[in-house]
Amino acid sequence: RSTLDASDWMLLSDRFKALHLIWPTEVDLFEAAWNRQLPKFVSWIPQPNAAAVNAFSLSWYNLRAYAFPPFALILRCLAKIKRERADLVLICPLWPSQPWWPLLLEMAIDIPRVFQYHPLLLHSSDLHPHPLLQSGKFLLSAWMLSGVVSKNEDFRH
């Protein structure tokens, strides 16, 4: 490959570890062997030690998953969470103008966490920062989400 794809970026591991203390997870979706955050991971293409290939081919119900999907797949992830009544931790940009933002708010079951800026918050295998970080204004957030309406309502009330 001549260019990086979404699986070629990694959230700074100390940020993941802090998040994992709040919301423990067991499987890392949308990763490659080099950037997985957990021993059990799902990759886009066959990878050494991957538990499975293609996160969308699995049921997310009772999976206790951590998902940091390519940004273009966030809406698809939200739809799958809702359809399968799954609970999972989702990492996404803090982008209130996106069409998926209202659904994200609706599905929250805990207060979202916003990662403090760090030049390598999102980086490649050779520690190059993601291009969106160059402005210093790009923020990533972590959300505990559920596709179970009663959990969403309990959190909002």
Six-digit token pair at 145?
């989400």
Task: Give pLDDT tens digits for 9-33.
Answer: 777 788 889 999 999 999 999 887 7
CATH of domain 6-156: 3.40.50
Report pTM: 0.87
Six-digit token pair at 107?
């599905």
pLDDT value, residue 85: 98
Burial (CB < 10 A; 0-12, 13-18, 19+), residue 51, is middle
CA 64 to chain centroid: 12
Query: Cβ distance 91 to 142 under 8 Å?
Result: yes
